[in-house]
Structure 1
Amino acid sequence: MSHPSSSGDQVSVIPKSHTIWIPPPPNLPCSDLLKGSREDYIKVGIPLFQAATKGDWEAAKALLGHRPKLVHYAITENKETLLHIAASAESTKAVENFVKNLVNLMDMKDLELQNRSYDIALSLAAQAGNIETAKIMMEKNRHLIDISNDNRIMPLYMAALFAKPDMVRYLYDKSNHMRGDCWVNENRGWVLQKCVEAEIFDVALKIVDDYPNLAFKKRLLSNVLLALAHNAGAFEKKETYVFKIIMSMFNVKVRLHEKDTEAMQFLRKIWEKIVIMPKREIDDILRGQPLKVETYPSSPTKNGYYKTYLSRILFVATKMGNTRFIVELVRLYPDLIWKVDDKEKTIFHLAVRCRQINIYKLLFEVGAMKDLITPMKDYKGNNMLHMVAKRIKQKRLQHVSGAAFQMQRELLWYKEVEKMVPPKLRQEKNNGGQTPQELFTETREKLLKEGGEWMKHTSSQCMVVATLIATIVFAAAFTLPGGYNQNTGIPFFSKEPSLIIFVISDAVSLICSSTSILMFLSILTSRYAEDDFVESLPRKLVNGIATLFLSIVTMMIAFSASFFLLYNKKLEWIPITITGLAGIPVTLYVFLHQGLFMDVFKAAYQSKRLFKHTNKHTLYS
């Protein structure tokens, strides 16, 4: 089933319920305007609709003055009243004033009118997040908050469903924390789940505190944990944009000494209650609901079928890279590191498969147990090294720019896991008869080719620029500003500081551009073997780009210095202006290529630190 919004779009909002509840007929408004002549509807209904949408009270007032009963008439085919339309309109001062004036003309019962979807105007205001509109209606009729639709869905649920945090907080307080005859644990649980999905954790914490018995409903707990598992960002402490840029430039990670996020507080509160349950119930919660049935010939069951649980919470969190979530679960339930999914992979095998480095690095913290985990195989006989070798989805490499650096990252993963697994597994074949190295070479053939082409294309373009600069500065070295004394051969401005700056800058530019050419030439003549992408090619590229940048900077310095020689002090503003303009290409170069340069620099000089293990423990800190 679905719940129609006021615009006619179908939005799925109805939670699953295990109880049968037959709703009463909706409290519909009068339909006389819709049943009457079409001409009357065009003259009255359409102007009212437009006035409510724009907040044009004067236009509505003129019509309502002649026909005051229109305040409780339906003006749409879905049986929305004028208040329904205004409540769901974009919140502006004009709309708020419109609602205030309209409500003054209505009785309390008029505010309880429902459309065909059983929604009152407050429910539409809740899903739109129009707090001021909701306040106006609540002041007129405080019982509105307890009116549900045909599926016992309250306005509070609608606000949480459409992720309107301020509205949720307001309605939660006005509902007396969901107390009353209309509230049962089932619809309270719906609100809790939607608050978690919408990241309104402050209200979610209040609900758990107000209703501790909700923490013992397995299906609800499973859904809530699944929502948290999907949301890795909710557990990250917020940092300013500038702070992130500075830290990323220097590859520095700083752990901010702040209190835990509200998401973490919420997770701890419910997980502490889950872990004291019987083991079977914990496993049921973490496993989730079976979604489909598949048959795996390599691991048949007695009945010939295999239940697949695609919403296994621990493994969803692993795929999403939700490290803090997994750490929190494992702290109170260490045996989770041994759990396997439907394809017999542990969280560490899946972390390798999905390239979730922080979860993989937790292996360093489990001590000798890692020597028992790494040899484990999936249902197709793939060990952990096969997991690295298998073809990876392109979206897993989107954060790495360029095919060459993507190839490097894949090689680094392979070499890291190769050191982690027992030596005998490195040559072990899977059920398909392939060793990890054979599988890696086969699946990375295309990426290797694309990486080589990317390197060649980038080097060729940069080499053209470096050659042009070398040509210019070489010629400039023999045509000094002001010329030479024909008798002595000494430059006329030999004692001027500007000439010394010109000569030195020109020489440095020539040397740097020549070095850059040699670097790019060595890349073009490389054999492009797999191991070349690990360190050799990235370092050559970063050195080539760095010397090219330095040659551009020193060329501009030489260019600017020459004007200080040619103009006397009375016209000093000319060389100063030119020097300022000469900084534009340098600035543009930095601005346009900073992303590439940082990626190349990290790939060349910081890639080996990617899997570096620190003494600071995350798992059992």
Structure 2
Amino acid sequence: MERDDWKSFKYQLDLNSGAEAKKVNEEGETFLHLAVASGKEQFVIELVKCMSSEDLRLENTDKCTALYLAAISGTKEMAEIMVEKNMDLVQVRNAHELPVVTAARHENTDMVHYLYWKTPQELLHPDKGKDGATLLTKLIISDLFDIALDLLEKYPTLAKSEDYDGRNAITVLARKPSAFPSGRLHGHWHHCKSILGKIYYAGKQREGFAKLRNEIKGGFKTQEKRSEVHALQVLKIISTQVSKMDDKQLKDAGVYEAVLEATKFGNVEFVYKVMNCNPHMVNCKDATGKGPFLYAIMYRQEKIFSLLQDMRERKSWFSYIGKEDGNNALHQAAIYNRFSQIDRISGVAFQIQCELQWFEEVEKLAPPILKDQHNSRGMTPRELFAKEHAALVEKGEKWMKETATGCMVVAALIATVVFAAAFALPGGNKEENGDPKLLDKKMFMFFIIMDALSLFSSCSSMLMFLSILTSRYAEQDFLVSLPTKLILGLSSLFFSIGTMMAAFCATLFIAVRHKNYWVPITSTILALVPITLFVVLQCPLLLEMFYKTYGRRFYVKKNNC
């Protein structure tokens, strides 16, 4: 078997009658077990042909059949040849679970799809044990929502049934924001369009999140992928089950904890559906008394933060006071949480900006009395914010200065090059009066304009970066002042690079204006490479900087508390 020579191996089997059904090592494995474990598909197919249907049920010392091993890491073809010869193999519980559950546990996707439809569905009924619940949770974890949906449609109560690991579908789905449209990570182009859209609608009415709620209601059917649609349908069945539970059942099924976890991970659809299906969800609290609103504040989940504002009287959300630390809701917004959304933001300076924006948005909603309340350490929310973010501000200052220094070097180099180019005009000068020989040529004028623009923009860029180096670095400066200077500096630097490339290409066209036009044409095409790289890699980031500084980042309602 080690030499992958089936003919030689078959010859040895023929010399030892019945050897294919004998256990060949201390682990009680047959040759079929070994072939499956080694991934030798041809050996598996040929061995199954030589064995009886009962021989396929032989177990090793761990009470596992060869199909169980195939479910872990084998191919669908291995399973097919065994199941076709003995259909009962799919019902044999190995290590206390069905083969399809084992395949799902090890994320063997092809095997799951095959074994699921071969397994008698009644074996997955909640009353038959934990196989159905375990399969459902593993399907959700593996993003196999098509099968999960089919299973839930047959047995909806599996949603609240506990699996072998002590979990259920509700608690597992709560930790899967990536399964839904709001949690999907998109590419640069999608992100760029999203930012542009936000900038366009920034000055309009506060309808951004209302639109999200309508999309949730509509199921995102028109724009999202099939897996997302299946996930939303799974969530609908699960939320229907939640709507039928009383307070005790909600606690026993871990639904309260699931809502808090969904809030923590930014699972907008889950929170919206579950909290609308059962009014008991407004009582969600952890052991310290924190509810979903506090979790949204702590973990900077602005979408859920906005969503929850319409679900209950906001005054009650701000009634929390920590028993041990004395922190109110505004103190919670001031605490720096390194496990929040802040790590997704590029640049330390913009992380500080985001933290400041978040604190001020919560402050707008909070009752005025909370702003001057002291916690157990005698600190107001503003004082706590300054203490919590002192290290981040220091890092932001260092990041800003390093970025400005590096960019200023590039701007200075560009300014030097284009300044020198202005005194070394293409085509030369007339001897009699020193005028440029090509002064009447359009391409020459284009070169002059591009060269001048590049010089002016690079000098402007240097001045902006110099102002960053000489700026003060207080917390509030990171909100608008410093980001504005960085945006202007980077924008002018990128513009100077583009105009410099245009001036260079114009020079080539002038130098070879009578022949060899393929040289400037090729150079112009190559000049598009750095410009394209900028558009793809840097433009979305620059737009995001612009929107975070000038756009309306959050959709909050006016304080009526």
2:16 is the alignment partner of 1:64: no
Q: Say if 1:287 and 1:499 are closer, same or farther in 2 by CA, change over 3 A.
A: closer
**Which of 141, 144, 159 is matched with 1:197 structurally?**
141
Assess if the C-alpha contact under 8 Å between 2:188 and 2:540 holds in 1: no
Provide the rounded CA distance (Å) in 1 between the counterparts of 2:13 and 2:363.
79
Q: Determine which structure has more spread, i.e. the larger CA radius of gyration.
A: 1
Amino acid at match of 2:259: L
CA contact (8 A) 1:375 1:422 kept: no
For the 8 Å contact 1:483–1:492, the answer to whether it is kept is yes
Counterpart residue number, 2:232: 264
Correspondence for 1:285: 253
In the alignment, residue 340 of structure 1 is paired with which amino acid? K
Cα deviation code 1:395-453 (max 9, x no counterpart): 64221111111111111111111111011101101122221111111111111011011
Aligned equivalents of 1:125, 1:285: Cα separation in 2: 33
Alpha carbons of structure 1 residues 482 and 373: separation in structure 2 relative to 1, 3 Å: same
Q: Is residue 112–residue 144 contact of structure 1 (8 Å, CA) maintained in 2?
A: yes
Q: What corresponds to 1:358 in structure 2?
A: 303
Cα distance change on mapping 1:461 and 1:197 into 2, 3 Å: closer
Aligned residue number for residue 203 of structure 2:
none
User: Which of 436, 445, 468 matches 1:523?
Assistant: 468
Residue 169 of structure 2: which of 213, 217, 224 is its match? 224
Which among 406, 423, 435 is matched to residue 351 of structure 2?
A: 406
- Output the amino acid matched with 1:393: R
With over 3 angstroms needed to count, the CA separation of the structure-2 counterparts of 1:77 and 1:248, relative to structure 1, is: farther
Q: 1:599 to 1:80 in 2, by over 3 A?
A: farther
Partner of residue 7, structure 1? none
Please provide the CA RMSD for this pair: 3.0
Q: Match for residue 166 of structure 1?
A: 110
Q: Which has the higher contact order (CA 8 A, sep 6+)?
A: 2
Check the 8 A contact 2:298/2:332 in 1, yes or no.
Answer: yes
Q: State the distance in 1 between where 2:321 and 2:126 align.
A: 52
Map 1:386-425 → 2, pairs under 5 A:
386-393=331-338, 396-425=341-370
| Aligned counterparts of 1:274 and 1:139: Cα–Cα separation in 2 | 40
1:201–1:262 CA contact under 8 A, matched in 2:
yes
Which deviates the most, 114-123 or 254-263?
254-263
Q: Residue in 1 aligned with 2:202?
A: none
Matches within 5 A, 1:273-352: 273-286=241-254, 312-352=257-297
Distance 1:63 1:242, change over 3 A: farther
Give the structure 1 partner of residue 201 of structure 2. none
Alpha-carbon distance change, 222 to 277 in structure 1, aligned in 2, over 3 angstroms? farther
Q: Could you tell which deviates more after superposition, 478-487 or 507-516?
A: 478-487
> Partner of 2:254: helix, strand, or coil?
helix
2-side partners of 1:502 and 1:212: how far apart? Answer: 71
Q: 1:610 and 2:556 equivalent?
A: no
Structure 1 residue 142: Cα displacement: 1.6
In structure 2, distance between residues paired with 1:347 and 1:387:
13
Residues 122-142 of structure 1: per-residue CA shift (max 9 Å, x gap): 111122252111110111112
Number of the residue aligned with 1:99:
44
Is 2:125 aligned against 1:176? Answer: no
Aligned with 2:433: secondary structure?
coil
- Structure-2 change in CA distance of 1:329 and 1:352 (3 Å): same
Compared with structure 1, are the counterparts of its residues 574 and 209 closer, same or farther at alpha carbon in structure 2 (3 Å cutoff)?
A: closer
| Structure 1: gaps spanning 5 or more residues | 1-47, 289-311, 616-621
**Are the aligned partners of 1:538 and 1:603 in contact in 2 as well (CA < 8 Å)?**
no
- 1:111-156 deviation digits (Å, cap 9, x = unpaired): 11101111101111122252111110111112212222353x2212
For residue 612 of structure 1, what is the amino acid of its counterpart? Y
Matched with 2:28 is 79
Q: Which amino acid aligns with 2:347?
A: G
Q: Secondary structure at the match of 1:520?
A: helix
Change in 2 beyond 3 A, CA 1:145/1:394: closer
Q: CA 1:351 to 1:568, structure 2 compared with 1: closer, same or farther past 3 Å?
A: closer
Q: What is the rounded CA distance, in whole Å, between the counterparts of 2:125 and 2:355 in structure 1? A: 59
What TM-score do you get using the length of structure 1 for normalisation?
A: 0.79
- Per-residue CA deviation, residues 438-493 of structure 1 (Å, 9 max, x unaligned), is 11111111110110111111111111111222222223223322232233342211
Q: Is the 8 A contact 1:219 1:285 kept in 2?
A: no
d(CA) in 2 for partners of 1:358 and 1:574? 53
> Which residue is 1:575 aligned to?
520
Q: Distance in 2 between matches of 1:345 and 1:443?
A: 20
After superposition, the Cα gap between the structure-2 partners of 1:67 and 1:247, relative to the gap in structure 1 and judged at 3 Å, is farther
1:379-399 deviation digits (Å, cap 9, x = unpaired): 332111111211312664221
Distance 1:280 1:182 in 2: 20
CA 1:563–1:63: 2 relative to 1, 3 Å? same
Please report how far the alpha carbon of residue 241 of structure 1 lies from its aligned counterpart in structure 2 after TM superposition.
4.8
CA contact (8 A) 2:192 2:540 kept: no
Supply the distance in 2 between the matched residues of 1:439 and 1:182 (Cα, whole angstroms). 50
Hey, what does 1:468 align to over in structure 2?
Answer: 413
* Alpha-carbon distance between aligned partners in 2 of 1:566 and 1:593, rounded to the nearest angstrom: 32
- Aligned pair count reads 533
- Contact 2:123/2:132, CA 8 A, preserved across alignment: no
Match of 1:139 in 2: 84
Name structure 2 gaps, 5 residues minimum: 199-207
Distance 2:406 2:275 in 1: 51
- The corresponding residue for 2:99 is 155
Q: Is the 8 A contact 2:134 2:162 kept in 1?
A: no
> In structure 2, do the counterparts of structure 1 residues 193 and 583 end up closer, same or farther at CA, with 3 Å as the change threshold?
closer
C-alpha separation in 1, matches of 2:475 and 2:45: 71
The secondary structure found in structure 2 opposite 1:331 is helix
* Match runs of 1:50-61 below 5 Å: 50-51=2-3, 56-61=5-10
Give 1:318 shift.
1.3
1:247 maps onto 2:193 in alignment: yes
Query: Is the 1:375–1:421 Cα contact (8 Å) retained in structure 2?
Result: no
1:579-598 to structure 2, matched below 5 A, reads 579-587=524-532, 593-594=538-539, 596-598=541-543
